[in-house]
A and B are shown apart, each in its own frame.
Chain A
Amino acid sequence: MSPYYRPVRFDWWRKRRAYTLFVVRELTSVFIAGYAIVLLLLLRRLAEGREAYEAYLQWLATPGMMAFHIVALAAAVFHSLTWFSLAPRAMAVRIGERRLQPRTILWANYAAWAVVSAIAAWMVLRA
Chain B
Amino acid sequence: MTSSVSSATITLEVLRYRPGRDQAPAFQSFQVPYREDWVVLDALNYIKDQIDGSLSYRWSCRMGVCGSCGMMVNGTPRLSCAAFLKEYYPATVRVEPLEHFPIERDLVISLDDFMQKLPAVRPWIVRQDDRPLDAGEYRQTPAELDWYKQFSMCINCLLCYSACPVYELEPRFIGPAALALVARYNLDSRDQGREQRQEIAAGPDGVWDCTLVGECSTVCPKDVDPAGAIQRLKLSSALEWVKNVVLPWGRR
Task: Please determine if A and B sit in direct contact within the complex, based on CB atoms under 8 angstroms apart.
Answer: yes
Residues in A lying within 8 Å of B, measured CB to CB: 1-6, 8-9, 12-13, 15-16, 18-19, 22, 26, 86, 89-92, 94, 97-99
- Confirm or deny: B123 has a beta carbon within 8 angstroms of a beta carbon on chain A: no
Known interface pairs A1-B20, A99-B146; A89-B231 also in contact (CB < 8 Å): yes
What mask results when residues 96 to 117 of chain B are scored 1 for a CB within 8 Å of chain A, else 0?
0001001110000010000000
A97 to B231, CA, bound (A): 22
When the two chains form their complex, are residues B211 and A26 in contact, meaning their CB atoms are under 8 A apart?
A: yes
Chain B 103-142 interface residues, beta-carbon cutoff 8 Å to A = 103-104, 110, 141
When the two chains form their complex, are residues A22 and B214 in contact, meaning their CB atoms are under 8 A apart?
A: yes
- Confirm or deny: B33 has a beta carbon within 8 angstroms of a beta carbon on chain A: no
A26 to B165, CA, bound (A): 14
When the two chains form their complex, are residues B103 and A8 in contact, meaning their CB atoms are under 8 A apart?
A: no
Which chain A positions have C-beta within 8 A of B103? 3-6
Residues in B lying within 8 Å of A, measured CB to CB: 17, 19-20, 22, 24-25, 75-76, 99, 102-104, 110, 141, 143, 146-147, 165, 168-169, 211-215, 218, 225, 227-228, 231-232, 234-235
When the two chains form their complex, are residues B231 and A86 in contact, meaning their CB atoms are under 8 A apart?
A: yes
Which chain B positions have C-beta within 8 A of A89? 225, 227-228, 231-232
Which residue from B25, B75, B146, B214 sits with its C-beta under 8 Å from A15?
B75
6 further contact pairs, Cβ within 8 A, besides A4-B17, A19-B215: A4-B24, A6-B103, A8-B168, A18-B215, A86-B214, A92-B232
When the two chains form their complex, are residues A97 and B143 in contact, meaning their CB atoms are under 8 A apart?
A: yes
Q: Which residue of A lies closest to B110 (CB)?
A: A3
Q: Which residue of A lies closest to B18 (CB)?
A: A1
Which residue from A2, A22, A90 sits with its C-beta under 8 Å from B232?
A90
When the two chains form their complex, are residues B25 and A18 in contact, meaning their CB atoms are under 8 A apart?
A: no
Which chain A positions have C-beta within 8 A of B25? 4, 6
Which residue from B165, B231, B232 sits with its C-beta under 8 Å from A13?
B165
Which residue from A1, A2, A3, A18 sits with its C-beta under 8 Å from B214?
A18
Which of A3, A4, A5, A8 is the most central at the interface, judged by chain B CB atoms within 10 Å of its CB?
A4
Which chain A positions have C-beta within 8 A of B20? 1
Q: Which residue of A lies closest to B234 (CB)?
A: A90
Give the distance to chain A from B15, nearest Cβ to Cβ, in Å.
Answer: 10
Which residue from A9, A26, A91 sits with its C-beta under 8 Å from B235?
A91
Which chain A positions have C-beta within 8 A of B234? 90
Which chain A positions have C-beta within 8 A of B102? 3-5
Which chain B positions have C-beta within 8 A of A9? 168
A21 to B229, CA, bound (A): 21
A26 to B212, CA, bound (A): 10
When the two chains form their complex, are residues A6 and B99 in contact, meaning their CB atoms are under 8 A apart?
A: yes
Q: Which residue of A lies closest to B227 (CB)?
A: A89
